Structure 1
């Protein structure tokens, strides 16, 4: 598949009223191999105005999907096992029983931008639907590490891809990242996408995983018009994750 340019992984920050300099496209993306990322989830929900919006997410157990806290809404549904959005059906779309948004989430600072969706029933696992591993302890990914982010986010000029797209991004330390991010970064955030590079995640697939060596290390959260982008640092929330998933 030829390299594509100026494609987007959406951040659903629009749902929170964020506009202006927030980026709205994934840059330097390509089509992912079908079902090469069986943990990917396509999430739809209604915001307070009743609009139907989209976020990304990822399966972390048979009945839990992780995503960004700013993707919270009503009538949330999760589709799994997709490559093309044309594959979405009642058989692979699951209702959400409880949306567990982190109690410390702050829409202004983007702190604690993490949420666990408990599905009404456990899903049947197969080649197209598999959970992804989470970090086992609180540690940071080394700067310069190449990771991957994927989603069905909006492309440039309002176009929406029908298939799962992906892009490789390089981890940037928070000190360097802070130079181009207007809000203060906390230790519970991480950055990826070298300044001046052509690889980044952006608007419409907020909640998608930042995957490093097969492990979900971050969650697409927010950013500017160009790299780097900011991700929720999953390892910082391991006690909360264990508490929610243990019931």
Structure 2
């Protein structure tokens, strides 16, 4: 299974999942796996709301087993004990093939990443004026660098 954003998967006829890739145009990149799956294997959260971005999460069931290697490893998810960290103040990694500037006209060929801090919920709620819930995480730009268009649905 792959976790992504509902706004990336909602309405898709199918998706290609890139695993272990850093060069999106190189089909022969060592360690990379590309797996296509149809919309039958895309599960969008039943309460996904595009107007409020609530429950912006989706699961993609891969039709074949993933071959783990040095570049591809499963994510560690929180335990099911009901105690979840807010991650406020933690440094996290965001990555994607999104645009590398506001002026860019296309997404990046190469995977880009940045380490950014997680903001306090109160700061985020003030900045976004009531659209942020306790189920959301906000990150802060660092040195005028952040995620950009095309990075949506990527890992944090």
- TM-score (norm: length of structure 1): 0.54
> How far off is 1:183 after superposition?
4.6
Shift of residue 192 of structure 1?
1.2
1:168 aligns to 2:115 (yes or no): yes
Q: CA deviation at 1:185?
A: 1.4
Look up the SS of the partner of 1:100 in the other structure. strand
Paired position in structure 1 for 2:86: 141
User: In the aligned structure 1, how far is the partner of 2:58 from the partner of 2:71?
Assistant: 23
| C-alpha RMSD of matched pairs (Å) | 2.1
Alignment counterpart, residue 147 of structure 2, candidates 201, 207, 231: 201
Give the corresponding residue for 2:33: 92
Structure showing the higher strand proportion among its residues: 1
For 1:187, which of 126, 134, 137 is the aligned residue?
134
Residues 123 and 184 (structure 1 numbering): CA distance in 2 closer, same or farther, change over 3 Å? same
Structure 2 CA distance for partners of 1:187 and 1:207, relative to 1, 3 Å: same
CA drift at 1:140: 2.3
> Do structure 1's residue 69 and structure 2's residue 6 form an aligned pair?
yes
For 1:155, the equivalent position in structure 2 comes to: 100
- CA distance in structure 2 between the partners assigned to 1:198 and 1:158 by the alignment: 19
Relative contact order, higher structure (CA 8 A, sep 6+): 1
CA contact 2:107–2:150 (8 Å) conserved in 1: no
Alpha-carbon separation, structure 2, partners of 1:136 and 1:199: 32
Alignment length (residue pairs): 145
> Deviations along 1:78-121, whole A, 9 cap, x unmatched?
121211113236x8221225101100100000000001100111
State the alpha-carbon separation in 2 of the partners of residues 88 and 67 from structure 1: 22
Q: Which runs of 4+ in 1 moved over 4 A?
A: none
Q: 1:188, CA displacement in angstroms?
A: 0.8
For residue 108 of structure 1, what is the aligned residue in structure 2? Answer: 51
Match of 1:221 in 2: none
| TM-score relative to the length of structure 2 | 0.82
